[in-house]
Amino acid sequence: MKNSPPKVGAPTGSSKQPAGDFSHTQTKQIIREDALQRKRFATLAARAALAGHSLSKVSTGYMLSKWSHSKHAPDLDTIEALLARMGVKP
């Protein structure tokens, strides 16, 4: 029985994680950051909508539009600054 595969959950003898492998804590952190980013986008989209604008996610960032006018922004910080400059309250 020397060549039998290890049992599921059995220690492998190495406590190091392989490169690219995430711990449970790191995975939770990534998920939490993604959720916060989605919440921030939803909040900014709602603020924009209340002012008659639409906010969309595009492949190169974000697009803020109203009627035939559009403004591209690479990140949500820029969108937030644009909305503030337009007088959209937080």
Taking the alpha carbons at both ends of the chain, their separation in whole angstroms is 67
- The pTM assigned to this predicted structure is 0.67
Q: Which long-range contacts (CB under 8 A, 24 or more apart) does 73-79 make?
A: 76/37, 76/40, 76/41, 76/44, 79/44, 79/48, 79/55
pLDDT digits (tens, 9 = 90+) for 14-65: 555 555 666 777 777 777 888 899 999 999 999 999 999 999 999 999 999 9
Phi/psi of residue 68, nearest 5 degrees: -100, 10
pLDDT at residue 1 tops 70: no
Q: How far is CA 38 from the centre of its chain?
A: 6
Residue 32's identity, in one-letter code, is: R
